[in-house]
Amino acid sequence: MALIVQKYGGTSVGGIERIERVAEKVIASYHQGNQVVVVVSAMSGETNRLIDLAKAIDPRADARELDVLMSTGEQVTIALLSIALIKRGYKARSYTGSQVHIRTDSAYNKARIMDIDAARLKADLDSGVIVVVAGFQGADEHGNITTLGRGGSDTSAVALAAALKADECQIYTDVDGVYTTDPRVVPQARRLERITFEEMLEMASLGSKVLQIRSVEFAGKYNVPLRVLSSFEEGRGTLITYEEPNMEEAKIAGIAFNRDEAKLTILGVPDQPGVAYRILGPIGDANIEVDMIIQNVGADETTDFTFTVHRNDYDKAMEILKGVSRQLGAREVNGDKKIIKISLVGVGMRSHAGIASAMFKTLASEGINIKMISTSEIKISVVVDEKYLELGVRALHTAFGLDQPVAATA
């Protein structure tokens, strides 16, 4: 008998009929002999409805009270799903985050889970009860209601799976798995049977928004096998595990890209210790997150410094950088908002040389000029002009053997 945690997001429970369909899916898993814990989000639209009520009173509504308010969204769903399960003759029981002792810190609206007391759930599961838990929420040590922030239901599910030592944590979404890249850009994109946590983290952080990144980190940390599946279609989805692919398998798991980048450069900065901090310190103080950073020391004892930020932060970052430039006596400041980032991701890189040069060659053969390069152990990212997004991704997808096999024609 396996213990499965299933998580259904807002779209999957976005109405009475959909909740009934989720009940059927849960029961199907139960009939396969599994113990089942279901984690649900608020019905789609509900969280926004609640926030709108609060904002109508105060656009900067108190954080503690916002959590009291928003946590009702999932509470409605757990009750309705339990009612649907009980109607079908199954024992079911709902729990709020507070009831199931999902203890968090006190950072309202973006709390982090500290621990979970799984004893009560275990007892329920052992007596054949299907347990339905409100995602996205918990309570701090004083019993104050907290929420984990948007998308936190994934994290709730993974944390429960870890606490219960579940055999698998299944995340039901509106896509049927993790793809080699975005199928809207590359029609030949393939669903991956499996992917490692590290690869998934790189894919997620690069804009493949299948899962909340925090939930993947959590799953990796506690080694909870995570599976992404569709709520609406049958299928095995994609399993995210620690296991490394075989040597024979593809070196590259997938290609991620990010359209939200913007690049800023400060040229001719007199080179001295601490210059990176003097440039990036004020940017960080303004709560602007920096992604890629490149520094070149030139011949004339000055340095050129380039970094990327989210496109929405570009104007603010540029204003700060101009001030920094004057202080440091730099020669020039420039920037570019029309860039995108393409990344190859794969743990296979560790044992395969030449992937970077193969990537650069592919791009060069398409006439795509590379503006920045950044590498990590399992990822190579390049920044290119935004007009090359589709061309670059498709070329790399084919070059690295990720395209779906074409059916043989007679």
Instruction: Find the part of the chain contacting a copy of itself (CB under 8 A) among 92-100, 152-160, 234-242, 362-370.
Output: 92-100
Q: What are the b/e assignments for 14-39, b being 16+ CB within 10 Å?
A: beeebbebbbebbbebbeeebbbbbb
First to last CA, the chain: 47
Q: Does 112 bind a copy of itself (CB under 8 A)?
A: no
**With respect to a copy of itself, which residue has the nearer C-beta, 96 or 381?**
96
**With respect to a copy of itself, which residue has the nearer C-beta, 101 or 311?**
101
The binder of a copy of itself chosen from 76, 250, 267, 292 (CB under 8 A): 76
Nearest to 256 by CA among 377, 353, 393: 393
**With respect to a copy of itself, which residue has the nearer C-beta, 62 or 332?**
62
346, 252 in Cβ contact below 8 A?
Answer: yes
Those residues whose C-beta lies under 8 Å from the C-beta of residue 216, and which sit 6 or more positions away, are 197, 200, 201, 204, 226, 240
The binder of a copy of itself chosen from 34, 82, 170, 215 (CB under 8 A): 82
Residue 156 burial by Cβ neighbours in a 10 Å radius (0-12, 13-18, 19+): buried
Q: At 100, which helix (H) or strand (E)? A: none
**With respect to a copy of itself, which residue has the nearer C-beta, 100 or 342?**
100
Site string for a copy of itself, 44-63 (x = CB under 8 A): ------x--xx-xxx--xx-
Q: Does 78 bind a copy of itself (CB under 8 A)?
A: yes
Q: What is the distance between the alpha carbons of residues 88 and 54, in angstroms, rounded to a whole number?
A: 37
Q: Tell the smallest beta-carbon distance from residue 75 to a copy of itself (Å).
A: 5
Those residues whose C-beta lies under 8 Å from the C-beta of residue 24, and which sit 6 or more positions away, are none
Q: Does 111 bind a copy of itself (CB under 8 A)?
A: no
Q: What is the distance between the alpha carbons of residues 203 and 382, in angstroms, rounded to a whole number?
A: 14
Site string for a copy of itself, 114-153 (x = CB under 8 A): -----------------------------xxx--------
The binder of a copy of itself chosen from 27, 84, 157, 178 (CB under 8 A): 84
Site string for a copy of itself, 272-291 (x = CB under 8 A): --------------------
Site string for a copy of itself, 5-34 (x = CB under 8 A): -----------x--xx--------------
**With respect to a copy of itself, which residue has the nearer C-beta, 140 or 199?**
140
Instruction: Find the part of the chain contacting a copy of itself (CB under 8 A) among 82-90, 178-186, 234-242, 395-403.
Output: 82-90
The binder of a copy of itself chosen from 5, 36, 40, 80 (CB under 8 A): 80
- Total count of residues recorded for the chain: 410
**With respect to a copy of itself, which residue has the nearer C-beta, 78 or 210?**
78
- Please give the single-letter amino acid code of residue 231: S
Q: Does 87 bind a copy of itself (CB under 8 A)?
A: yes
Q: Sheet holding 261-270: strands in order across?
A: 290-297, 302-310, 261-270, 332-336
Helices (H), 127-224: 152-163, 197-205, 213-221
Q: What is the distance between the alpha carbons of residues 400 and 290, in angstroms, rounded to a whole number?
A: 29
Computed on alpha carbons and rounded to an integer, the radius of gyration of the chain in Å comes to: 24
Q: Does 165 bind a copy of itself (CB under 8 A)?
A: no
**With respect to a copy of itself, which residue has the nearer C-beta, 58 or 390?**
58
Binding residues (CB under 8 A) for a copy of itself: these are 16, 19-20, 50, 53-54, 56-58, 61-62, 64-66, 68-69, 71-72, 75-76, 78-80, 82-84, 86-87, 92-94, 96, 98-99, 143-145
